[in-house]
A and B are shown apart, each in its own frame.
Chain A
Amino acid sequence: MKQMRANTKLQNAYLAFLFFLMYLPVAIVILFSFNESKLYVSFSGFSLVWYEKLFRDSAMMEALKNSLILGILSCAVSAVIGTLGAVSLSALKLRSKGVLEYIAILPLMVPEIILGMVLMAFFYMLKLPFGMLTLLIGHTVFCVPYILVEVKASLALMDPSLTEAARDLGASSWRAFLDITLPLVMPAVASGSLLAFAMSMDDVVISIFINGPRISTLPIKVYTQIKTGVTPEINALCTIMLAVSLTALAVFSIFRSHKKEENRDEEQIDRASEPDQEL
């Protein structure tokens, strides 16, 4: 028994150490963004000077604006495409359904770099001007699957007789979708959109291929800056981005917990599609 307790302690120490290593770099980034000195040796005093510098950097603010616009737009477009797609795929009994679904999820499975280069070559062939439009399409490509997967999982938990009842009472399929299905899957749409937003705000690899020479996003900016060296300004920028991600995550988990409570009422949680395991 004693030996077992010692064992458990050892295991917990191992976990604690790995978690420490996991979060150490993040903590360092945040800590030094508030450091007075430009050196990374020790913390010499609290200061917001790097944030001030950052906010005066107009190129950086432009990139921030681009990222936000891109994140919101791609998230909105893919929410519409993904939700309509998931709902209709679950309702239709088409033979080609599986194939369509497979291709739609493909962007999550293909290595990012391949997706990036393929889109670049394809947009060039279509003679699309590289910039916001190509970025929007590219981000929508990898955002749609997130929403599709989320909404699909929530539809699997929905009672199909609800829409059937509405249809039997004479509602058109569009009407039934708007009044019955959509309100029920809304939490999933919201959480999927937030996930998509976070991915869009995060993406470097695909964006770097399709952004064109004139437009830059925040992650691309971070990438090019990091390559040239470390400055506390980047720390400040990273800290802000971390704050944005964490806010998105907080809102996301609120939607998630709502959904979970609803599910618990119905007591039909399917382990395989339990939301926690999809990430």
Chain B
Amino acid sequence: MRRRNRAGMWMVLPLTIFTLIFVAAPLLYMVFLSFASQSSSGFGVEWKFTLENYKRILDPVYRNTFYGSLRLAFSTTALNILLGYPFGYFMAKLSAKKKKAAVLFLMLPFWLNSLIRLYGWIILLQKKGLVNEVLLRLHLIDKPLKILYSYPAILIGMVYVLLPFMALSVYSSAEKLDWSLAEAARDLGAGRCYAFFTIIFPLTLPGLFSGIILTFIPSMGLFFIADILGGNKIVLVGSLIQEQMTRGNNWPFAAALAMVLLVVTSLLLGLYKKLTNSDVLEGIG
């Protein structure tokens, strides 16, 4: 038995070596980097332990960036719940044949470049775009709205990109539901709403939670949506990190920002595990 193990041992080496060098080491490097400081020449890193980078995040300017990102992430997630929960739930109630088609159409966007899909929104939201055109024709507005390059545009983009995650998560939870439970409740005299909130809703919670995680985490980091739909007006943590890495050249500070982002992310994942007692995110396996 031992001989057998040793013989197959080398096969695990490529993965081990690659993972240690290019996944574990870089992440560890970031941890060290976040405690170093920018060299006084303005370029490069000085390896002297400091907490300065973390203190700097508390600076009102950067703190507000974090607040702004959190606010956007919360609004995105809230809208996604409002739109995506019924989406996934109604999908689970479709007939088997329709369900198959719906799942296919819901998965398809994962394969299509999100930039391209966002680009479509730029065209739609332009001053002379379709959205304004329709609103004008319906006499809902008198003059074209300036949606593009504003906060609502970013919100539309975020919700649009992340909605499939929420819908799919809720769907995979709702799909496993035993509908006879709800029927039993109805037969015993429970109202439609009461049956939904006491029976069905609690059973779809794992899907809802994983949907929240899957939309909240990316929405903290998706800097390019704010960049192309918001016209660089709104600075998010993501864009701040990118700026510090490229123009600002303050890598230690960027690393500290990334660390905070990572900690927030892992806390959320931990919370999810605690709430649902599971390691796997519903809907993505």
Contacts and interface: CB of A to CB of B under 8 A. Distances in A.
A25 B18 CA distance: 39
A19 B221 contact: no
Contacts of B109: 22
Interface stretch (A57-65, A222-230, A260-268): A222-230
Contacts of B223: 113, 205
B245 A209 contact: yes
A273 interface: yes
A84 B29 contact: no
B146 interface: no
A144 B116 contact: no
Interface stretch (B56-64, B118-126, B198-206): B118-126
B110 interface: yes
B120 A29 contact: yes
* Interface size grouping (class) on chain B: 35 or more
B38 to A, nearest CB: 12
A125 B221 contact: no
Summarize B's interface: helix, strand, loop or mixed. Answer: helix
A80 B13 CA distance: 11
A245 interface: yes
Nearest to A234: B119
Contact of B27 (A11, A106, A245): A106
A91 B90 contact: no
A205 to B, nearest CB: 7
A222 B119 contact: yes
Contacts of A119: 22, 26
Contact of B221 (A80, A114, A201): A114
Contacts of B4: 167, 173
Interface residues of A, number: 91
Given A85-B14, A144-B15, A277-B284, A15 B115 contact: no
B8 interface: yes
A137 interface: yes
B102 interface: yes
B261 interface: yes
A100 B117 contact: no
Question: Which of the listed residues A29, A93, A114 has the most CB atoms from chain B within 10 Å of its own CB?
Answer: A114
B241 A113 contact: yes
Given A92-B9, A242-B116, 8 more contacts: A22-B109, A41-B133, A88-B15, A92-B8, A111-B220, A141-B22, A149-B285, A222-B115
Interface of B: 4-5, 7-9, 11-12, 14-16, 18-20, 22-27, 29-30, 33, 83, 86-87, 90-91, 93-94, 102-103, 105, 107-124, 126, 128-130, 133, 160, 163-164, 168, 172, 217-218, 220-221, 223-224, 227-228, 238, 241-242, 245, 251, 254-255, 258, 261-262, 265, 269, 280, 283-285
Interface of A: 8, 11-12, 14-15, 18-19, 21-29, 32, 39-41, 80-82, 84-85, 87-89, 91-94, 100, 103-104, 106-107, 109-114, 117-122, 125, 137, 140-141, 144, 148-149, 153, 167, 172-174, 177, 198, 201-202, 204-205, 208-209, 219, 222-223, 226-227, 230, 234-235, 238, 241-242, 245-246, 248-249, 272-274, 276-279
